[in-house]
């Protein structure tokens, strides 16, 4: 299995932003059916992507595992935020 970073993302954020410490403490809360919620902390996503980046580095898919992990982490976290927004929007439509 080959892991390649998404290089076509035109909205890629600078991983060295001045608000990085605030962003690290952020989390996404998914409100699921039957009033169950799941909280995903950004630090947990970063921990997982660090391991994935080490694997990608060992397979030769990247020469910079730190940058790879940061990019992958941001992509995953942004996708989770978008999914959470879609869930909220669909719940609002159903309640109206």
What stretches in the chain show pLDDT beneath 70?
A: 1-28, 30-32, 96
CA–CA distance, 4 with 84 (Å, rounded to integer): 25
User: C-alpha 11: how far from its chain's center?
Assistant: 14
pLDDT at 50: 94
- Counted residue by residue, the chain has a size of 96
Give residue-wise pLDDT tens across range 38-64: 788 888 899 999 999 999 999 999 999
Are residues 53 and 72 in contact, defined by beta-carbon separation less than 8 angstroms?
yes
Q: What is the pLDDT of residue 68?
A: 95
């Amino acid at each position: 299995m080959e892991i390649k970073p998404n290089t076509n993302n035109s909205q890629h954020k600078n991983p060295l932003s001045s608000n990085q410490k605030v962003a690290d403490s952020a989390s996404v809360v998914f409100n699921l059916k039957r009033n169950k919620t799941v909280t995903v902390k950004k630090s947990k996503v970063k921990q997982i992507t660090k391991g994935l980046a080490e694997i990608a580095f060992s397979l030769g898919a990247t020469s910079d595992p730190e940058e790879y992990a940061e990019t992958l982490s941001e992509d995953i976290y942004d996708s989770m935020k978008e999914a959470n927004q879609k869930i909220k929007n669909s719940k609002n439509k159903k309640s109206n």
